[in-house]
Structure 1
Amino acid sequence: MSESQPTATWAGSYTPPLAAVGCSGPNDSNCDSFRLTIVPPSHPFTVQVTLHVNTGDDWDLKVYDPAGNVVATSGNAGGQDEVTVLTDPAAGTYTVQAVNFSGLQATFGVATLAARSNDAASPGSGPTPTYSIFTDPNEHSSGEPSVGVNWRSEIADNGGTLMYISSTTTLRLRLNDCTSPAVPRPGNNWLDVSPPNAITTLDPILFTDPVTGRTFSSQLAGKASLMSYTDDDGDNWVPSQGSGINSGVDHQTIGGGPFASPLFGPVYPHSVYYCSQDIALAECGLSLDGGLTFGPAVPIYNQTVCDGIHGHVKVAPDGTAYVPNRGCGGRQAVAVSSDNGTTWAVRPIPGSLAGTWDPAVAVGSGGTLYFTFANGDGRAMVAVSHDHGVSWTQPVDLGAAFGVHDSAFPAAIAGDDDRAAIAFLGSTTPGSDGDDPASPAVWYLYVSHTYDGGATWTTVNATPGDPVQRGTICAGGTLGCPNGSRNLLDFMDIQVDRRGRTVVGFADGCTGPCVSSPLNTQGALSTIARLKNGRGLFAAFDRPLGPPDEPLATALFENGGVHVSWLEPADGGRPIKKYRVYRIQTGQAERLIGTVGATTFNFVDHGFDPARNPRYEVRAVNVYGESQAKAGCDNRVTPVGPPPPVNVCAEPGAIMVTDPQGDAPVPAYDILQISVAEPAEPGPGKVTFILKVASLATVPPSTTWPINFKGANGSDYWVAMKTNATGAVSFSYGTGTNASAPGAAADPASNFSADGTIRVVVPRSGFGNPAPGATIAAFLTRVRVELGPTGSALTPDNAPDGLTGNGSYRIVGSENCVSGP
């Protein structure tokens, strides 16, 4: 087939049924295979392959590329045609394979080549959303997880309690939003709160009604379910009937919301649905008492209309219930009930093609319906309806801006009527949905956001630089993925917290060495992505433009310093320009100790005093100003690890006094700290007094930089660096408190550096000759600038600010220190 010959047809040959055994490859004689040669046109195109199946028969479809790799599949229920789409396939001969599951007659095949239209979603505007990632420290494996948010148990502004199901384990996560990103609250870091009856499972599912606060945990047990519910986030559980009477055997889903008029809940205010598929049909049972008991399971469609497998049930504010389906007569569709599950109508999405993965729906506060799906050609699509699915907008491609070719696990949530979010896994590699762990495919979590009812969409990679999966994501079901690439199973979930932040529950299959190398770890780590930056789904909580949030920081004693590091916070709507690092110590005011650029996320402090319990706070700065801690939050962090011992045999030695930077008009006058050291190099019996100012790149004339202190004998002493009117520098020491008076010349090892470090080396005999073990104390400094011969002067900075001496130093003796490095 080619642009000039766009259609190919063939009559299939009958092969015996294989049930779930399947075919071993493109040349397996047990299957009916047709060779299809494709000559690509010069423009983007698709090839749709359709197997027409006779009523009552059940065939599946596989397409192999010229190298023998599976690049497309379709596995609808019996009696339905099998349809798949290849997008821009490379030139070559492909194998279209009809696999007889339980058919009595041969199939008829049609392949159609068509130009591919530009159906990319129109891009949105405004702040770009970003996400914070939270992983389970206990590393629960959680293929096909679901997540819930209880708005009623919100603490401060954290949006509510997050509930997450991982196989038979139900986990609870409560966050603290004092910083950005948030951190788990103590005792609620992925806490196991599983119900007692969650002892085995064929499929796990969780649903939290955010309005009532009730969470349901269900473990599939054939045509029944081991279900419990909790109204206190897992502290206590109530066992339930578990499912509708005579429910289906597979793929259960739970949802709830208001009853459709005129029904109301005298026992519990909301409806609760339990839906599942039973191979030849799917059914939903309704609970009128909050999930304690369920009525009979009512069919919502049968296999002559739709494939049995379906997505998650959602209930609209007006009580309309929706169950999406991936394959109904070759289209994606949704089953709709407006009478509390008594009757159901299937409404297809025009322009869609039956696909591989469960689609999803979300309903806005005014009833707008958002339907997202992995199209038959693999792309992530969405369509919107304003009349309960009777009519739809033309589907648009959410991943086009990133070149996403294949998608998996679409999930949807809405808030205000014009706001919704769609999550999906996406890969730019064609054929990413086979069963090949060695495939070069790389999958990321994407989230698309609309703030105008679906007219435009802003799609972001929520896990940049950190793939969710390498290799394929297999959709072959329990028996169809022998190579192990079904580690993520069948779906993921998305919800919204009370503040409008989207919350995605997914399994991370690429951790550790997989993140930066082709190795696929094929795991399923319990993970949550939560909106950090940008608008949420409730306009009432949109924050005005302003300073950034406070960054989440950590501090660590390491290699003689404190290493402060932090994560990028929400930026307040404008780019972050820089970060400021502050230190506060016992008995001292907060001090700015460093400023770094917007792409630097660490700082090392060597000027701290470990005896004063240093703590650190990082603040982000944009054009609106500096971040500030929220009311009731203290974001200062204490360094962890053993504090380094004070090494007085090397600079800076023991710190006696610190002073905030920037409180003097000239850097040379801006005092930062006083310290004392006794390195061996100047010789035995020598002490090095160190005064640090902001800079001495320019040394002003007529200035004295003194250090005053009390000797071990109680007398006053001083040491100083001085400049005369011509700028000549000298170092001296003396007795008393007047450092402007003449004194003795200090040791020739005395010096200063352009970075602002002044070193005055003095023999111990110059201040009372204290022996090792004696203590000198009460250190202070006051820079003095002479104004002329009259004796008047300025004192632009002093430390401590109150001019009361501070600190004490125990003499070690430089003769007791080892010379050299």
Structure 2
Amino acid sequence: MAGGAGRAAVAFYGSTSSGDGSANNFAGVWHLYVSNTFDGGLHWTTTDVTPKDPMQRGCIWMHGGADICRNLLDFFDMTVDKQGRVQVGYVDGCADGACAQAALTAKGNAYTARGVIARQSSGRRLIANFDPPNPLHAKSKPGMPSLTLRRVNSVVHLAWSEADTGNSAITRYRIMRGTASGAETLLTNVSGNQTTYNDLTATDVTKTYYYKVLAVNGVGTSCGNNEIAAPYVGDTCTGLIVQRTPPGHPEQPLQGLAPASLAIDYVTVGEPPGTNNLMFKMKVTSLANVPPSSRWRIVWNSYAAQSYDPAAEQFYVGMRTDQNGTVTFEYGTIATAVVGLVIGVPTETAVGSLPGSTFNADGTITLIVPKSAVGSPVPGDLLGAVNGRTFTGDTAQTQNLERSTLLVDHTFVKGQRDNGHPAATYSVVGNVSCGSP
């Protein structure tokens, strides 16, 4: 982006890890960077715009086709506002607390596709007339931290980006909490070098907790427009709700668009203590009547599926009924073929059955799968793009296809979450007691 005489800026995605950034075994994380020059390119200053908050984990796809790390959708642009401040529009592929807070060694990604605008908050502008007085030494209030959270069992895990210092060192962060939006009061202060906090006192499962984090320096306090909500979504023993249909969702049976047996209320992921299993649940409105020739699927992205099929990039677990209404449970892989520039139909390949899986007339489908069968994820790893899908009217030709036109209900398809809250990512914690953080 060109500015006034001798001034320009460049935005780019970058990783400090070496290797092929498009390879599915690339283990690095990516951040948004902006480089500025104010002397015609003789010197450049590069800033990590997303510190402590990667915008993608693993590969960024730079080819055609349907690879799961093509979730950034090719959208990336840069402009300047009327006062010379840089603005960058980018896609955040690691947009929730589970992904943003994961360790650098974690495998997996959120595979989100959230549009974000990064705005310059201090410093010299691309148009010199709008530079602040004495721009290299001027001091101002700090910028607003970007806040993420995870509410897991009895702990709320908070993390935030380093605030723009405003040329004055951050002395502390003020953590605010309330049980109503806009009613936060001071919970605690932490040092200006700290960017995480675990709230061990948010234990009332009937309440949604609201948080803000304010940065403080020698000039003042950042604005408080970063409120974030932490509703109770269950525990890892019985299942954390990763996607929920809000009341009145148009695919509910009252609107006549989805029968009760196929309208998804919520999807959960958990890890039963004392086992080495993952537990997925899909709650539909009712299974008092189970339709024949139908499928209930929970799907997530994983390159580990290629251990079964080199073309596969997703696992699924689910329930199926045949033409006689007989119920079976299975897990398998999904591959999406590409012919030329045309993306084909996602196709299931069953791998095995799921002993111990059940369904109830109240609409709860419980699916138990050994971790060893789906890539052996370890604590800290991510199950990304977790989603529910239902199908009916299967024929011999369609019974293994996941064509979007066959969907009765869904919670996430190709980056378009139509009813998911929070983002559909599960962070593996291990098969531990739910009293553990």
Shorter chain as normaliser: what TM range? 0.3 to 0.5
- TM-score of the superposed pair, with normalisation by structure 1: 0.20
- TM-score of the superposed pair, with normalisation by structure 2: 0.35
Higher relative contact order (CA 8 A, sep 6+): 2
